[in-house]
Amino acid sequence: MANKGPLKTMGNTAGQDGKSKALGLALDQIEKQFGKGSIMKLGESHHADVETMSTGSISLDLALGGGIPKGRVVEVYGPESSGKTTLTLHAIAEIQKNGGTAAFIDAEHALDPSYAKRIGVDTENLLLSQPDNGEQALEIVETLVRSNAVDLIVVDSVAALVPRAEIEGDMGDSLPGLQARLMSQALRKLTGVISRSNATVIFINQIRMKIGVMFGNPETTTGGNALKFYASVRMDIRRIGQIKQAESIIGNRTRVKVVKNKVAPPFREAEFDIMYNEGISRAGDVLDLAAARDIVEKAGAWYAYNDAKIGQGREAAKTFLLENPAVMDELADKIRAMELAKSQPAPAKEPKEAVDAKAAPKVDAKVAVPADTDKKPEAESSTESVAKASAKKV
């Protein structure tokens, strides 16, 4: 019977060649119609780790896996006066320090320029828009993103993006789902453009209560579900306490939970101080992280660094760091170095079989060992010796 194996192999090879040729023609047609780079193999694309920008809080940067990702949609939501706008203004200040351009779409018409300046925002070069309706605001965002010249855009807030039909209608008109449709349409258009331009768009959002919810979380955000799906990062920011000095309240203790993260592990939390008229306290943030990692020693109420006491009580230690920014920068660098060392994977151990194979001597099976005629015969086995002795006796 004839062997059909080679014929099958030749048929498979011809089929693969035909598929490769057809795929090449299809790729050429796509690139001709939609432009070069519209489709490619993943290995040929310029794929790199997602770039990030700082939030102004080291603890939040660590919780996010490095910072806010570039070229993505981000949502920051929480109750009133929880620090949403303050957090985004710090992000604007950080991007400006690195030579970037930022824009603030003030749909709430409530931005305080003097407060932004105290936080560190370069208000002279900040692009500001106060649109009349939601469509105008989102069209401005799209134009800025398509320019490829703006690094960060903040929209404050989704709840204030009022559709044009609602503004032009009467006060009692019922227009259900209008804002949700507006956000859904806008995000469908914006997501791809944002990714290509490497700009980051942060949407600030408010919380509403679902009516009639008996079990589960009754809280929800405005603008429908589109933003929940399109956002790569979602942060829930809350006040968890007050900071007092004598009888006066001078700030809030704030917690941020990363409820969604497509570029790093989610569900991490960060806590920091937001001081009134100052913003996020970098000194308090660095002090807490350094104490948690034993870079700064804490004995009772005293804080010590390099065997030298830096303050009795947290506020005194924060004051020391504010007066000695070089020490604060040194602590921040040590914290980042420790986190970087943790994030790097450990070298993989070789399997035991591979180690044993390396240790064993190599034998070349192709080399024939010549017979040694002068070599004495090997010792006979005990069974053969007994058999020969019995034969001689017979």
pLDDT digits (tens, 9 = 90+) for 71-119: 999 999 999 999 999 999 999 999 999 999 999 999 999 999 999 999 9
Has residue 170 got a pLDDT over 90?
no
What pLDDT does residue 354 have? 54
Contact 106, 128 (CB under 8 A): yes
What pLDDT does residue 348 have? 57
More confident: 206 or 380 = 206
More confident: 193 or 168 = 193
Contact 157, 206 (CB under 8 A): yes
Sheet of 302-305, strands arranged across: 297-299, 302-305, 308-312
Mean pLDDT of 234-252: 94
- CA-nearest of 91, 111, 218, 212 to 160 is 111
User: Rounded mean pLDDT of the chain?
Assistant: 86
Contacts of residue 173, Cβ cutoff 8 Å, sequence gap at least 6: 166
Has residue 343 got a pLDDT over 90?
no
Reported as a pLDDT band with limits 50, 70 and 90, residue 176 is confident
What pLDDT does residue 329 have? 94
Mind listing the pLDDT tens digit for each residue in 371-390?
454 444 444 444 454 344 44
Reported as a pLDDT band with limits 50, 70 and 90, residue 349 is low
Has residue 232 got a pLDDT over 90?
yes
What pLDDT does residue 387 have? 46
What pLDDT does residue 64 have? 95
What pLDDT does residue 391 have? 46
φ, ψ at 212 (rounded to 5°) = 85, 10
Torsion 25-30-33-38 (CA) sign:
negative
Contact 84, 78 (CB under 8 A): yes
What pLDDT does residue 5 have? 54
CA distance 165 to 324: 55
Mean pLDDT of 31-59: 80
Has residue 266 got a pLDDT over 90?
yes
What pLDDT does residue 122 have? 97
What pLDDT does residue 148 have? 95
What pLDDT does residue 382 have? 43
Contact 286, 321 (CB under 8 A): yes
Residue 123 carries which side chain, given as an amino acid letter? T
Mean pLDDT of 275-304: 94
Mean pLDDT of 56-77: 96
> What long-range pairs does 268-271 form, CB within 8 A, spacing at least 24?
268/62, 268/63, 268/64, 269/63, 270/57, 270/59, 270/60, 270/62, 270/63, 271/59, 271/240
Three-class DSSP labels, the chain: CCCCHHHHHHHHHHHHHHHHHHHHHHHHHHHHHHCCCCCCCCCCCCCCCCCEECCCCHHHHHHCCCCEECCCEEEEECCCCCCHHHHHHHHHHHHHHCCCCEEEEECCCCCCHHHHHHHCCCCCCCEEECCCCHHHHHHHHHHHHHCCCCCEEEEECHHHCCCHHHHHCCCCCCCCCHHHHHHHHHHHHHHHHHHHHCCEEEEEECEEECCCCCCCCCEEECCCCHHHHHCCEEEEEEEEEEEEECCEEEEEEEEEEEEEECCCCCCCEEEEEEECCCEECHHHHHHHHHHHCCCCEEECCEEEECCEEEEECHHHHHHHHHHCHHHHHHHHHHHHHHHHHHHCCCCCCCCHHHHHHHHCCCCCCCCCCCCCCCCCCCCCCHHHHHHHHHHHHC
What pLDDT does residue 171 have? 81
Has residue 32 got a pLDDT over 60?
yes
Poorest-pLDDT segment among 43-52, 331-340, 355-364: 355-364
Q: What is the pTM of this model?
A: 0.79
Has residue 319 got a pLDDT over 50?
yes
Mean pLDDT of 296-318: 92
What pLDDT does residue 368 have? 46
Q: Which two tokens stand for residue 292?
A: 């948690």
